[in-house]
Amino acid sequence: MKRMKPKDTSREGNGSSPPRFASEAVADFQLPHQVELEVQRELLAQPTLHFASLVVRRISNGVCLQGVLETDDESADICSIAQRVSGVREVLNHLVIAGGRLPPKG
């Protein structure tokens, strides 16, 4: 077996080795789906908002919101609430607004 010389430890670049972990490759590392979970928590924590369903998906520079919002208050600014979360600059609001509370399923 041939012993590698110190300069032969990497074949890419100037002798630097690739990151061992994904967190080393990204300066602003966040766990997978962390932004989506934080946006979902922020929205569900609002006492005036009631969601029949809520799906938060990551998009470039932000999130896409999908689901059914049960409210009579159409002035709720969902986008600004979602933008409170670090890393969210853009919000695609695809929520359907249902007036009042929906009856329970079943």
The string of pLDDT tens digits covering residues 54-99 is 999 999 999 999 999 987 766 678 999 999 999 999 999 999 988 7
pLDDT of 23:
46
pLDDT at 1 over 50: yes
Domains of the chain: 31-106 (3.30.300.10)
In 3-state terms, the chain is what percent helix, strand and coil (to 5)? 20, 25, 50
Predicted confidence band of residue 44 (pLDDT cuts 50, 70, 90)? very high
pTM exceeding 0.85: no
